[in-house]
Structure 1
Amino acid sequence: MAEIKIEKKKPVWPWVILILVVLAIIAYLVYDNDNDMDDDFDDDYSEEQVIDSLNTQSTYDPYNNSDTSSTYDQFTAYDEAISDSTRVAIDSSYTKNAFANLAKVVVHKADEHAIAESPALTDLRNFSSLKTSISTTTKETEGFKNFKTATDKIVTVMETVQQKSFPSLQTQMADLKQSASKIDGSKALKEQQHQIYTFFRQSRDVLKMMNN
């Protein structure tokens, strides 16, 4: 009687592992590419960056643990946050920390001059007091899809303050608006280092004049 040979089935688990490895590589490349587009404000903040509470009137300062810091203290924190021009727009965390400080100064200045609440001011107020976590997207940050949107909100609120209380700063405000218009929301921050640092620096200069 002829012997019937039974061929053993080859195990499928090596193929499963191979597929998982390929998917992991693809996921890593996609995630890494997203990180290069540093103009998204919905990602992580380190502990030195985040704001300490969801209180919309918070005046927390990452350089000062006091919740009663003055406009001057906040302005000093912002000035320090942009002191290294080589990291602006290159280091994502550094850039976002600088913007968080800028947002706080502008909100405080708006409150100081009794500026009426507006969508732009509300978004800045929420952003400047919002503590975020890894991979968290909340309704408070929906208005900050990229740096271009954020700079436009800063300019809108600052211009309102300028028109109400600092009419002599009209030229400086116009220059700041022009700098903001040169920032392209479709480009990564690192491709616009000069434009972004110029915006930060001019914002600082106008706010300094508003403090005098």
Structure 2
Amino acid sequence: MAEIKVEKKKPIWPWIIAGLIVLAILYFLFFANGDDNEITDEDNQEQVVDTTYQENNSTARYEDNRSDTLTGGISGFLSYVGDKSKMGIDHEYTNNALIYLMNAVQVKANDLNVNIDTDMQQIRQQAEAITNDPMATNHADKIKNAGSDLADVIEKLQQENFPDLSQDVQEVKTAVEDIDPSVLTLEQKDKVNKFFDEAGDVLEKMS
């Protein structure tokens, strides 16, 4: 009897693996690229957000840095007003000088346990008003009002703790009174700087 040869079936698992590999390649080519594009879009959006964050916080950083500098108290104020050439048309120098002075007075009041919160709130509003409209012609009036209130606060500290400095405080008050509210600030820089110098002098003596 003739022997019947039975031909063995070839295994199909290599074809299955090959098919899976092809599918994986197709998935990578079509879907992975799409995901990359989506990620790129998200990255672009994040970059925009980050840039906006930095731009919005440039002022915040400036404010924070300025606050850190202001913690120098009296020495910080004296250092800032030491360069009179900073006084410009935008009144940034005058505004910052007032803020430095307010901080110096606040620090000294804290050291002496004197509550001046109510006084400082009003003075702070007056100082901020100076930069709201850089081209306004009534800055001298605002400076004089803020300076007069600051002189009163300094006098309060002096009367309670430094009776020998009454004449020094009076010189601060006189310097404030010499500021003419009807004259442009830049036309009486010497008078404004005189006020800052007198205030710095008496605060330094309180140290």
Q: What TM-score do the two structures reach when normalised by structure 2?
A: 0.57
Shift in Å, 1:85: 1.7
Contact 1:90 1:189 in 2 (8 A): no
Larger Rg: 2
Deviation per CA, 1:88-133: give whole Å up to 9, x if none. Answer: 36561122111111111112212222224474233246678x8xx9
Specify the code of the residue in structure 2 equivalent to 1:154: L
CA contact (8 A) 2:99 2:124 kept: no
Is 2:87 the counterpart of 1:88?
yes
Q: 1:173 aligns with which of 169, 178, 186?
A: 169
* Aligned-pair CA distance for 1:210: 0.5
Aligned residue in 2 for 1:186 = 182
Letter in 1 for 2:75: T
**Counterpart of 1:97?**
96
Could you tell me which runs of 5 or more consecutive residues in structure 2 were left unpaired when the two chains were aligned: 1-57, 134-139
Q: Which amino acid aligns with 1:147?
A: I
Residue matched to 2:40: none
Mapped partners of 2:184, 2:122: distance in 1: 22
The match for 2:109 is: 110
Once the two structures are TM-superposed, the CA of residue 63 in structure 1 deviates from its matched residue by 7.3
How far is 1:86 from its partner? 2.8
Tell me: higher relative CO, structure 1 or 2? Use CA pairs within 8 A at least 6 residues apart: 1
Q: Aligned pair in 2 of structure 1 residues 92, 126: CA closer, same or farther (>3 Å)? A: closer
Distance 1:196 1:134, change over 3 A: closer
Mind listing any 5+ residue stretches in structure 1 that lack a counterpart? 1-45, 53-60, 136-143
Partner of 1:195: 191
Deviation at 1:77, TM superposition (A): 1.7
Q: Which residue of 1 aligns with 2:32?
A: none
On the 8 A contact 1:89/1:192 being kept in 2, the answer is no
Q: CA deviation at 1:154?
A: 0.7
Name the TM-score, length of structure 1 as normaliser.
Answer: 0.56
3-state DSSP class of the match of 1:146?
A: helix
Decide whether the 8 Å contact of 1:89 with 1:196 is kept in 2: no
* Identity percentage of aligned residues: 25
Corresponding residue for residue 78 of structure 1: 77
| 2:102–2:120 CA contact under 8 A, matched in 1 | no
CA distance in 2, matches of 1:145, 1:120: 18
Contact 1:110–1:157 under 8 Å retained in 2: no
Matched, 1:161 2:165: no
Deviation at 1:191, TM superposition (A): 1.4
Quote the Cα distance in structure 2 between the aligned partners of 1:49 and 1:92. 20
Query: 1: distance between equivalents of 2:152 and 2:66?
Result: 25
Does the residue aligned with 2:97 lie in a helix, a strand or coil? helix
